[in-house]
């Protein structure tokens, strides 16, 4: 399984972005390799927050629809108990990282997601320190 980070989805959606074509090619390779692609509501919320700064509110739904068309994409969500929050708070402290990134890493750990597609080098480095591989 491969987690798609928010920056990947933003580049996927923004045809004018420098990384758009590279993102499309990498996503297609993952689909061709029959990788299970994952994201979360938390990541989609981050994408929509970023897009809302530049796009009209009416285009946000179109963005979600387009994300939903990525082949084999599923949403992975945390367990619905406070223990999840305790684990990512501890991870945030342990790795000296932001809470949002710790939340995503804890989600990956809990769901057994071993690969990450992200352009955020700091996030990738923290993930690699936990044995999560970067998709290149």
Q: Express each pLDDT in 67-80 by its tens digit.
A: 999 999 999 999 89
The domain total for the chain is 1
DSSP assigned state of 115: E
User: What's this model's pTM, rounded to 2 decimal places?
Assistant: 0.93
We report the CATH number of the domain holding residue 58 as 3.40.50.1010
Domain range holding 110?
A: 2-134
pLDDT tens, 21-52? 999 999 999 999 999 999 999 999 999 999 99
* Tokens of residue 59, six digits: 């285009």
Cβ(31)–Cβ(72) under 8 Å?
Answer: yes
Residue 89 to residue 6: CA distance in whole angstroms: 20
Q: Which residues make Cβ contacts (< 8 Å) with residue 55, sequence separation at least 6?
A: 63
């Amino acid at each position: 399984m491969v987690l798609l980070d928010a920056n990947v989805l933003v580049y996927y959606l923004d045809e004018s972005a420098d990384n758009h074509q590279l993102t499309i090619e990498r996503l297609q390779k993952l689909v061709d390799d029959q990788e299970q692609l994952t994201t979360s509501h938390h990541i989609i919320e981050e994408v929509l927050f970023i897009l809302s700064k530049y796009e009209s509110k009416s285009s946000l739904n179109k963005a979600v629809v387009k994300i939903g068309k990525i082949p084999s994409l599923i949403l992975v969500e945390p367990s619905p108990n406070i223990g999840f929050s305790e684990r990512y708070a501890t991870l945030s402290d342990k790795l000296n990282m932001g809470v949002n990134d710790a939340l995503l890493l804890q989600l990956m750990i809990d769901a057994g997601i071993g690969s990450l597609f992200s352009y955020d080098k700091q996030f990738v480095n923290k993930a690699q320190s936990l044995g999560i591989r970067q998709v290149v």
